[in-house]
Amino acid sequence: MRLSIGYCYTFVLKEHLFFNANIAPSVGVRFSKLSETVEAVRQEVSNTSFTRALEGGAQLGYASRRIVFGLGFAFDVNGYNEDKFNAVANNKFYGNIYFGYRLNTTGFIDRTYNKYAKNWVLINS
Protein backbone atom coordinates (compact mmCIF):
# COMPACT_ATOMS: atom_id res chain seq x y z
CA MET A 1 0.00 0.00 0.00
CA ARG A 2 1.27 3.42 -0.90
CA LEU A 3 0.21 7.01 -0.31
CA SER A 4 1.31 9.48 -2.96
CA ILE A 5 0.90 13.15 -3.71
CA GLY A 6 1.81 14.45 -7.14
CA TYR A 7 2.16 17.65 -9.08
CA CYS A 8 1.98 18.15 -12.84
CA TYR A 9 2.36 21.38 -14.78
CA THR A 10 2.12 22.13 -18.49
CA PHE A 11 3.95 25.12 -19.92
CA VAL A 12 2.58 26.40 -23.23
CA LEU A 13 5.71 27.54 -25.06
CA LYS A 14 4.05 28.68 -28.30
CA GLU A 15 0.73 27.94 -29.92
CA HIS A 16 0.51 24.12 -30.16
CA LEU A 17 3.94 23.58 -28.51
CA PHE A 18 4.07 22.47 -24.86
CA PHE A 19 6.41 21.23 -22.15
CA ASN A 20 5.02 19.10 -19.34
CA ALA A 21 6.74 18.11 -16.07
CA ASN A 22 5.47 15.96 -13.20
CA ILE A 23 6.69 14.57 -9.91
CA ALA A 24 5.07 12.32 -7.29
CA PRO A 25 6.79 11.24 -4.07
CA SER A 26 5.18 8.46 -2.05
CA VAL A 27 5.54 6.38 1.10
CA GLY A 28 3.97 3.09 1.98
CA VAL A 29 4.06 -0.28 3.65
CA ARG A 30 5.04 -3.57 1.98
CA PHE A 31 3.76 -6.86 3.36
CA SER A 32 5.49 -10.05 2.23
CA LYS A 33 5.36 -13.72 3.13
CA LEU A 34 7.80 -16.45 2.08
CA SER A 35 6.69 -20.08 2.32
CA GLU A 36 9.29 -22.80 1.88
CA THR A 37 9.27 -26.57 2.33
CA VAL A 38 12.61 -28.23 3.05
CA GLU A 39 12.74 -31.97 3.78
CA ALA A 40 8.98 -32.07 4.48
CA VAL A 41 9.22 -29.18 6.96
CA ARG A 42 7.25 -26.08 5.97
CA GLN A 43 8.58 -22.72 7.08
CA GLU A 44 6.92 -19.32 6.67
CA VAL A 45 8.61 -15.97 7.13
CA SER A 46 6.54 -12.76 7.16
CA ASN A 47 8.02 -9.31 6.76
CA THR A 48 6.61 -5.78 6.86
CA SER A 49 8.71 -2.97 5.39
CA PHE A 50 8.43 0.81 5.09
CA THR A 51 8.70 1.86 1.40
CA ARG A 52 9.54 5.11 -0.30
CA ALA A 53 9.34 6.09 -3.95
CA LEU A 54 9.70 9.01 -6.33
CA GLU A 55 8.12 9.05 -9.78
CA GLY A 56 8.29 11.80 -12.35
CA GLY A 57 9.11 12.83 -15.84
CA ALA A 58 8.97 15.45 -18.54
CA GLN A 59 7.83 15.68 -22.12
CA LEU A 60 8.02 18.12 -24.99
CA GLY A 61 5.25 17.94 -27.54
CA TYR A 62 3.10 19.43 -30.25
CA ALA A 63 -0.69 19.30 -30.21
CA SER A 64 -3.06 20.58 -32.88
CA ARG A 65 -6.72 19.88 -33.56
CA ARG A 66 -5.87 16.63 -35.38
CA ILE A 67 -2.26 15.65 -34.57
CA VAL A 68 -0.29 15.19 -31.36
CA PHE A 69 3.34 14.06 -31.08
CA GLY A 70 6.33 14.44 -28.83
CA LEU A 71 9.06 12.84 -26.79
CA GLY A 72 9.60 12.42 -23.11
CA PHE A 73 11.35 10.60 -20.31
CA ALA A 74 10.13 9.19 -17.03
CA PHE A 75 11.66 7.70 -13.92
CA ASP A 76 10.47 5.54 -11.06
CA VAL A 77 12.84 5.22 -8.11
CA ASN A 78 11.66 3.11 -5.20
CA GLY A 79 13.04 0.99 -2.43
CA TYR A 80 12.68 -0.39 1.05
CA ASN A 81 14.81 -1.80 3.84
CA GLU A 82 14.21 -5.55 4.04
CA ASP A 83 15.91 -5.66 7.42
CA LYS A 84 18.62 -3.65 9.16
CA PHE A 85 21.32 -5.17 6.91
CA ASN A 86 19.59 -5.42 3.50
CA ALA A 87 17.97 -2.78 1.31
CA VAL A 88 16.14 -3.33 -1.98
CA ALA A 89 16.09 -0.69 -4.72
CA ASN A 90 14.16 -0.86 -7.98
CA ASN A 91 14.93 2.07 -10.28
CA LYS A 92 13.58 2.56 -13.79
CA PHE A 93 14.48 5.28 -16.27
CA TYR A 94 12.91 5.23 -19.72
CA GLY A 95 12.06 7.43 -22.67
CA ASN A 96 9.28 7.45 -25.21
CA ILE A 97 8.37 8.93 -28.56
CA TYR A 98 4.70 9.19 -29.42
CA PHE A 99 2.50 10.15 -32.33
CA GLY A 100 -1.29 10.35 -32.36
CA TYR A 101 -4.09 11.26 -34.72
CA ARG A 102 -7.42 12.46 -33.34
CA LEU A 103 -10.43 10.87 -35.02
CA ASN A 104 -13.88 12.43 -35.18
CA THR A 105 -16.12 11.21 -32.41
CA THR A 106 -19.17 9.14 -33.21
CA GLY A 107 -22.63 10.68 -33.04
CA PHE A 108 -23.50 8.66 -29.93
CA ILE A 109 -20.51 10.05 -27.99
CA ASP A 110 -21.16 13.63 -29.19
CA ARG A 111 -24.83 13.50 -28.18
CA THR A 112 -24.07 11.96 -24.77
CA TYR A 113 -21.28 14.44 -24.01
CA ASN A 114 -23.34 17.44 -25.14
CA LYS A 115 -26.29 16.33 -23.00
CA TYR A 116 -24.17 16.12 -19.82
CA ALA A 117 -22.02 19.14 -20.65
CA LYS A 118 -25.13 21.29 -21.07
CA ASN A 119 -26.47 20.11 -17.68
CA TRP A 120 -23.07 20.73 -16.06
CA VAL A 121 -23.03 24.35 -17.31
CA LEU A 122 -26.56 24.93 -15.97
CA ILE A 123 -25.68 23.48 -12.54
CA ASN A 124 -22.43 25.49 -12.19
CA SER A 125 -23.78 28.80 -13.52
Q: What is the phi/psi pair of residue 74, to 5°? A: -145, 160
* Cα(108)–Cα(125) distance, integer angstroms: 26
Cβ neighbours around 74 below 10 Å, total: 15
Band (pLDDT 50/70/90 cuts) for residue 7 is: very high
- Given a cut of 60, is residue 123 above it in pLDDT? no
How many domains would you assign to the chain? 1
Average pLDDT over residues 111-115: 84
Question: What pTM did the predictor assign?
Answer: 0.69
Residue 56: domain span: 2-123
Tens of pLDDT, residues 58-106 = 999 999 999 999 999 999 999 988 778 888 899 999 999 999 999 888 8
Q: What is the pLDDT of residue 121?
A: 59
